[in-house]
């Protein structure tokens, strides 16, 4: 009798225990399942977040002192669930660093994470030691103090980590931000320039979520799984309220691997005024704008004659942001016919020519047959000497849809795309150029600052898995 009772209570305890264990298991299984979009994409949407402008702590107008705190945190993208994220001076993404041509800039980067990171200024023309590539690691609890003088024309650039093997992960979780360079010309042009009002940054990224709210970042041997949700400035399902008039958008594709083709739902055109490295010579009417990871464009849209009260920004046939138009047109800005003069990079009669063969296999890849090696310098380049670089995408097994080729420490010019003069949108300064399967791009390039720099595919998973090389300028 007694032993029977013991047996029964033992059984009951075992049963309760296994139910508990099962419950916990099921909880974790469900938490890890993908979260369907209709569970967080509400009808009314969320107002587009506008990144703050990073305060310059130095009162001298010719010198800027900035502080960036790299931190981890939680972000509420979904309304009823928190997501673990990384950010600069906040929980996701970072503030806009606004600097001026000729200005002396000093930035203190404090790493509050419990792992290493680096901070690279994508598109900025600086010495190798200030570039923030994989050689400038910032250990947990430590700081890095780059200083430089802004040595290029007005442009929209960006910043993100560049730690060997960890770039894709750290950017996915939120480490990215914009840099605006102003100059005399950009200040003089009568373009929209009220930050956050008629001059709007758009940091576009694809993401997926799990049921517990965490990011569902998945890659496979075959490549990268693209996210089902397009976020802008860390806003899911965004809407933006603007006045009827000219609105300038500075668009960055900050996705790890996804390409976008932006257009407007009413079929009206976007006037492209800038590419990666600054203004085009003249504005360009475009119905659709292709943007690969790392690339930027600036566009102006004239909403003054719109009859509809909402226009949607599209990528392909996916709606990515509702633009609500209000007010009357009191706008006095205009897009001038001439924006700047793009001086061609002068080449000698017999310029040094280098060829870069991009090959990928699923998620990994090589350049000229080599996977990246921190201890190998792939190319030696002479300071201030213009060269021709030819970039070829020779395909490969399990090939992805082309590689955005990026070079640090300079802005280059495209000479030809598949033997032909490049399309007008590629006739300004660029630092990232898309090379599709079978394509061959020639660029003229010159380095005015010494040091060790990277070139790589800006699909971050490719970069992390071998499609990167380094060169020394001296």
Q: Is 168 in the site for Cu ion (CB under 5 A)?
A: no
Residue closer to ligand C2O (CB basis): 301 or 459: 459
Q: Which stretch binds Cu ion (CB under 5 A): 71-79, 217-225, 243-251, 398-406?
A: 398-406
Among 157, 454, 457, 473, binds ligand C2O (CB under 6 A): 454
The torsion angles phi and psi of 13, rounded to 5 degrees, stand at -60, -45
Q: Which stretch binds Cu ion (CB under 5 A): 49-57, 66-74, 94-102, 115-123?
A: 115-123
Task: Tell me whether residue 233 is exposed, middle or buried, using C-beta atoms within 10 angstroms of its C-beta: 0 to 12, 13 to 18, 19 or more.
Answer: buried
Report, in Å, the least distance between residue 130 CB and ligand C2O.
14
Residues within window 455-474 making contact with ligand C2O, judged by CB under 6 A: 456, 458
- How far is C-alpha 138 from the geometric centre of its chain's CA atoms? 21
Residue identified by tokens 């560049």 is 162
Residue closer to ligand C2O (CB basis): 244 or 458: 458
CA nearest to 441, candidates 410, 395, 405, 409: 405
Give the separation between CA 88 and CA 97, rounded to whole angstroms. Answer: 11
294 contact, one of Cu ion, ligand C2O, none, CB 5-8 Å limit per kind: ligand C2O
| Long-range pairs of 89-92 with CB within 8 A, sequence gap ≥ 24 | 89/52, 89/54, 90/52, 91/174, 92/174, 92/234
162 contact, one of ligand C2O, Cu ion, none, CB 5-8 Å limit per kind: ligand C2O
CA nearest to 247, candidates 290, 197, 289, 204: 197
Q: Is 258 in the site for ligand C2O (CB under 6 A)?
A: no
Report, in Å, the least distance between residue 94 CB and ligand C2O.
14
459 contact, one of Cu ion, ligand C2O, none, CB 5-8 Å limit per kind: Cu ion
Residue closer to ligand C2O (CB basis): 240 or 454: 454
462 contact, one of ligand C2O, Cu ion, none, CB 5-8 Å limit per kind: Cu ion
Close Cβ partners of 371 (under 8 Å, ≥ 6 residues apart) = 364, 365, 465, 466, 467
359 half-sphere exposure, CB direction, 13 A CA radius: 11
**Contact string (CB under 5 A) for Cu ion, positions 447-466, x = contact:** ----------x-x--x----
Residues within window 401-430 making contact with ligand C2O, judged by CB under 6 A: 406, 408
**Contact string (CB under 6 A) for ligand C2O, positions 132-171, x = contact:** ----------------------------x-x---------
Beta strands at 238-243 and 46-47: parallel, antiparallel or unpaired = parallel
Question: Which tokens belong to 316?
Answer: 């392909």
Phi-psi region of 129 (alpha: psi -120 to 50; beta: other; left: phi over 0): alpha
CA nearest to 39, candidates 11, 84, 77: 77
Give the separation between CA 215 and CA 75, rounded to whole angstroms. Answer: 11
245 contact, one of Cu ion, ligand C2O, none, CB 5-8 Å limit per kind: none
Residue identified by tokens 């009951």 is 12
Residue closer to ligand C2O (CB basis): 98 or 122: 122
Residue closer to Cu ion (CB basis): 92 or 453: 453
Binding stretches for Cu ion (CB under 5 A) = 122, 403, 408, 457, 459, 462
Binding stretches for ligand C2O (CB under 6 A) = 120, 122, 160, 162, 294, 406, 408, 454, 456, 458
């Amino acid at each position: 009798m007694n032993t029977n009772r013991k047996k029964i209570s033992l059984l009951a305890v075992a049963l309760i225990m296994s139910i508990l264990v099962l419950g916990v298991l099921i909880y974790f299984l469900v938490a890890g399942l993908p979260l369907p979009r209709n569970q967080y994409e509400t009808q009314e949407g969320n107002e587009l977040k506008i990144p703050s402008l990073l305060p310059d702590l130095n009162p001298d107008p010719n010198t800027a002192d900035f502080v960036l705190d790299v931190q981890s945190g939680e972000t509420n993208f979904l309304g009823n669930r928190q997501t673990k994220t990384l950010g600069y001076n906040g929980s996701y993404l970072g503030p806009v660093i606004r600097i001026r041509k000729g200005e002396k800039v000093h930035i203190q980067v404090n790493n509050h994470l419990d792992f290493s990171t680096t901070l690279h200024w994508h598109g900025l023309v600086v010495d190798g030691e200030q570039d923030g590539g994989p050689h400038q690691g910032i250990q947990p609890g430590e700081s890095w103090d780059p200083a430089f003088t802004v040595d290029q024309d007005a442009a929209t650039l960006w910043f993100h980590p560049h730690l060997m093997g960890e770039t894709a992960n750290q950017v996915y979780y939120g480490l990215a931000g914009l840099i605006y360079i102003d100059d005399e010309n950009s200040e003089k042009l009568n373009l929209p320039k009220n930050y956050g009002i008629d001059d709007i940054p758009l940091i576009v990224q694809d993401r997926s979520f799990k049921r517990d709210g965490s990011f569902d970042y998945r890659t496979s041997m075959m490549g990268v799984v693209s996210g089902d949700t397009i976020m802008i400035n860390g806003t899911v399902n965004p809407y933006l309220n603007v006045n009827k008039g000219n609105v300038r958008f500075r668009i960055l594709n900050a996705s790890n691997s996804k390409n976008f083709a932006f257009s407007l739902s009413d079929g009206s055109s976007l006037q492209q005024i800038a590419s990666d490295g600054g203004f085009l010579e003249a504005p360009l009417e475009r119905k659709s704008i292709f943007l690969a990871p790392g690339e930027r464009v600036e566009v102006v849209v004239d909403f003054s004659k719109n009859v509809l009260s909402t226009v949607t920004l599209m990528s392909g046939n996916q709606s990515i942001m509702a633009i609500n138009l209000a007010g009357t047109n009191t706008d006095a800005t205009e897009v001038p016919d001439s924006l700047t003069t793009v001086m061609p990079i002068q080449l000698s009669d017999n310029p040094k020519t280098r060829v870069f063969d991009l090959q990928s296999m699923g998620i990994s890849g090589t350049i000229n047959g080599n996977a990246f090696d921190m201890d190998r310098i792939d190319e030696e380049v002479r300071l201030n000497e213009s060269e021709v670089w030819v970039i070829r995408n020779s395909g490969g097994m399990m090939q992805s849809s082309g590689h955005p080729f990026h070079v640090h420490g300079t802005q280059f010019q495209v000479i030809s795309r598949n033997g032909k003069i490049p399309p007008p949108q590629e006739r300004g300064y660029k630092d990232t150029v898309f090379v599709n399967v079978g394509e061959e791009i020639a660029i003229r390039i010159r380095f005015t600052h010494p040091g060790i720099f990277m070139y790589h595919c800006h699909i971050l998973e490719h970069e992390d898995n071998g499609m990167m090389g380094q060169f020394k300028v001296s």
